[in-house]
A and B are shown apart, each in its own frame.
Chain A
Amino acid sequence: MDLRTTEAPPSADERLAVDSVLGPPESGWFGGGRTPLDGHIAVGGLSLARRRRHLLLPSLHALQERVGSITPAGLGYLCTRLDMAPAEAYGVASAYALFSFEPGPPVVVHVCDDVACLAASGGDPAGDLARHHGPAGSRTAVTWRPSPCLGHCEHGSAALVQAAGERGGRASLAPFARGDMDRLAALGADLVLADLPVPLALVPQAGAEGTRLLRRVGRLDPSSIDAYRAAGGYEGLRRALEIGPQGVVAELKDAKLLGRGGAAFPTGAKWEAVARNPVRPHYFVANADESEPGTFKDRVLLDHDPYALIEALTVAGVTTGAEKGFVYLRGEYPLAAARLEHAADGARRRGLLGGDVMGSGIAFDIEVRRGAGAYIAGEETALFNSLEGRRPEPRNKPPYPVDRGLFDKPTGVNNVETLLSVLEVLSMGASAYAQLGTPDSTGTRLFCLSGRVARRGLYEVPMGTTLGSLLDMAGGVAAGRPLRAVLLGGAAGSFVGPDDLDLPLSFEGARAAGTTLGSGVVVVLDDTVDMTAFVGRVARFFRDESCGQCVPCRVGTQRQEEAVARLAAGRPLGSVDDELALLADLDQVMRDASICGLGQTASSAVTSALRQGLIGDGAHLANGRRR
């Protein structure tokens, strides 16, 4: 490869940032000081440098945090270190929302204007901010930008503060009021992120009888491994080591545990396929990229019960024969990042991770990697590409991850809630677990209640609980107003109406009703919500989050947003029927011909909104079939 990087030298800060991830340069060949030897010996280390490409994303984070943007000189130095072409590195970096490429203000406040906050605010959070603080991205010391869902939806408003400099980094602020923006603006570059209040989690059931996944949340010190162990922690791993991989897989199969990440894939079968694959090494990934608008369940678990994920991922690793596990955590969860790192360190110190896990002689360790603002990186194969330092673009399937996943090796990947449910299966035993829920959807499920509901928060109920009783638990619609609709499953889900309150929240119940549980999103909408703006926001989300790889989704999400805007403005091209036909065509091509689940579900909410007459002039699509 003809590597050619920019001539401009990196600043001292940029060097420090990159070296903090990669270590000091090995020699003059890699951007270090030149020694007389460099001119005489050929270096065989280039392929080694290239093998560190997976450190691209961590290094980009370091640059962004230290200097506030990715500059040509900073990227050039990084590319020299990794022996990587700058065009490729730029291609990767520019696919993420949290990196910027123009020198910007030291403090950027990303303010959520997505579905749950939009519904809760009863107005237009981004518009309000613009009126008081000037347009997004203005060149003041503290600027703001609208953001997709930040995963703190139970507060009804949220922001992520990103600061550059020696003590640069990120912190969440939820709830977030306009006054907070005033205070941040007044502080300017003097802001100390650590001084910001740590967001709480709203878990109305915390510690209540009958909760499983939530039983430790809010009751334990999340930084204490002793507290975790005293509450029964690490009994799951002990049992997994006792009964061995075959035993664990049998338990998961008997428990009929299905994945909570959206696709409802049987977990036991997945683990078995990885465990049996003769190709080595194996990897296991905890998918903590949680970015589906309206979802905050994984955040609550990670913030308040971090050891549980570390333990569960260790169970997955020792069962599937992986020596290395990754937690892929969305970049907007700084608190979870710190607590997970702390928990992994604690486990390592106690011999619960590392060369000899719990004295079993089995080696397994965990690394926490941060995403950088890309919903698509939660799709499992895009996630692998992201970890490898490539663009977060989904891969073609087959081959499936259990055959060729991370670094093209057999890989298991599960959602956080799935992994924590594995611990419940191990602690209760498969048959007791299978008693919970319905025969086909066993166990409990987390639901994220947000929007116009009396008690927003995270709820855990047995699978099969009806939508109506879940809403009742949360006190019904806020201020006793009439229910207009519920967005179920997230932006990739669909709307259900006031007539659907007896819908059983199980995989088969949702399927039979033509909808999906998705990631457990329940955004409650009453008659105060501007449905046109709400559906427009969903359309904009997919337009912004498409990876752009395939035509149906890249152009289809753009055209869908435009068509929804025309209907909303009452300015159809041709007749309203023409527009509905166009939207139906877009729905079909995205659903049928897109590469991945993003494009395949990008029209689902819009289509269901039209069918239910939630937008436009009440026009329904010709055939009343709901999907």
Chain B
Amino acid sequence: MSTLPPAPTPLTLRRNVQVTIDGEQVAVPEGSTVLEACRARGAEVPTLCYLETLAPVNVCRVCVVELEGSRALVPSCSRPVAPGMVVQTSSERVRTSRRMVLELLASSVDLSTAGGDVHRWIEEHGARPERHGPPAPAADRDHTHAGHHDPPAVGKAATAAQPVKRDNDQYVRDYAKCILCYKCVEACGEEAQNTFAIAVAGRGFDARISTEFDVALPESACVYCGNCIAVCPTGALMFVSEHDLRAGGEWDESRQEVTRTVCPYCGVGCNLDLHVQDNRIVKVTSPLDHDVTRGNLCVKGRFGFEFAQGG
């Protein structure tokens, strides 16, 4: 599915739509999202669950903006523009919701490998995760029963803390870092891989990414394409090689070089970005804007690199 090139843009020009972003008029093509309009205007709108190559699920709510005439804030990543829309990206209401979304995430999830922007946003918005109290001890999150929970001790904050799942040689799943952005589920299912090895299970604060009955990956339908790793924004899904280097304190992006090449295994022609540190391949990605892969690979391109470094 994923290897189908995107439909060519028709030569007929799309009509432009006029909208007002933070008091200034911008014209964007019909069918654009409010987020695209905000970006065209140069306004920074944080996003977490949004990715250019996936259909928006609009669940994280960090991208909400104020739309004149709408009772609640609206997710900019999924709302299509309509002529005459008046949007505020930085009003008091927007900033409060954004701050709270970031604060709620930071209070419940380990964001240590989530990338620089997230930490900058947390700082800039003055989110204070610590005011929800010290974390409750890690809990079994895989066998909760919908509609029932044991509240944490008074004064403690429940979190997603749990042991790392390491059940295969390719990648680890550290769901203590999972913000439940649904990207991996989308990538594994309808949007790219069509394998459906993982899904969201449970509900509410106990919702989690899981295989059926939480079986280990080797017992699941997983084919180790790693397309879930490629879209994960927090490092919850990580190459074993990266995970171990980080654990040993040796992961150092400043010492890494990224080399683009073409996958040698078959004739499809997927582009590979080899991330190399100290002469060893430490992870493999594929460019999102490549019209063959759109960031996706198969197990051979993603993980079949041991031969290149002598086994």
Contact = CB atoms under 8 A, between A and B. Distances in A.
B201 A94 contact: yes
A548 B204 contact: yes
A332 to B, nearest CB: 11
Nearest to B98: A593
A140 B204 CA distance: 29
Contact of A85 (B97, B197, B204, B213): B197
A385 interface: no
B104 A559 contact: yes
Interface residues of B, number: 60
A95 B203 CA distance: 5
A86 interface: yes
A226 to B, nearest CB: 41
A91 B210 contact: yes
Interface string A171-184: 00000000000000
A88 B203 contact: no
A595 B72 CA distance: 9
A549 interface: yes
Contact of B147 (A92, A97, A391): A97
Interface in A529-579: 540, 543-552, 554-559, 561-563, 565-566, 569, 571, 573-574, 578
Contacts of A138: none
Interface in B151-197: 151-152, 154-158, 179-180, 189, 194-197
A6 B133 CA distance: 42
Q: Give the most central of B75, B104, B195: most A CB within 10 Å.
A: B104
Contacts of A95: 146, 201-203
Interface in B204-238: 204-207, 210-213, 215, 220-221, 223
Given A97-B147, A592-B72, A550 B61 contact: yes
A3 interface: yes
B177 to A, nearest CB: 15
Contacts of A195: none
A543 B148 CA distance: 9
Contact of A546 (B101, B105, B201, B204): B204
B198 interface: yes
B148 A551 contact: no
A594 B204 CA distance: 13
Contacts of A92: 199
Interface in A400-434: none
Contacts of A563: 132
Contact of A555 (B108, B133, B146): B108
Interface in A18-57: none
A95 B207 CA distance: 8
Contacts, number: 208
Given A91-B210, A557-B204, A543 B149 contact: yes
B300 to A, nearest CB: 16
B31 to A, nearest CB: 14
Contacts of A550: 59-61
Nearest to A584: B96
A275 interface: no
A484 interface: no
B61 A551 contact: yes
B2 interface: no
Given A548-B204, A558-B158, A593 B72 contact: yes
B221 A85 contact: yes
Contacts of A136: 148
Contacts of B195: 1-2, 85
A373 B148 CA distance: 11
A72 B215 CA distance: 10
B199 A87 contact: yes
20 contacts: A1-B196, A85-B212, A92-B199, A96-B146, A376-B203, A544-B149, A546-B205, A548-B203, A551-B61, A552-B104, A559-B157, A563-B132, A566-B154, A566-B155, A574-B131, A582-B132, A585-B96, A589-B97, A592-B97, A593-B61
Interface of A: 1-4, 6, 72, 75, 85-92, 94-97, 99-102, 136, 145-148, 373-374, 376, 391, 396, 540, 543-552, 554-559, 561-563, 565-566, 569, 571, 573-574, 578, 582, 585-586, 588-589, 591-595, 600
Interface of B: 58-62, 64, 72-73, 75, 78, 93, 96-97, 100-101, 104-105, 107-108, 131-133, 143, 145-149, 151-152, 154-158, 179-180, 189, 194-207, 210-213, 215, 220-221, 223
Which 8 A-B pairs have CB atoms at the shortest separation, nearest pair first? A548-B207, A91-B199, A97-B147, A85-B196, A589-B100, A86-B212, A555-B104, A546-B204
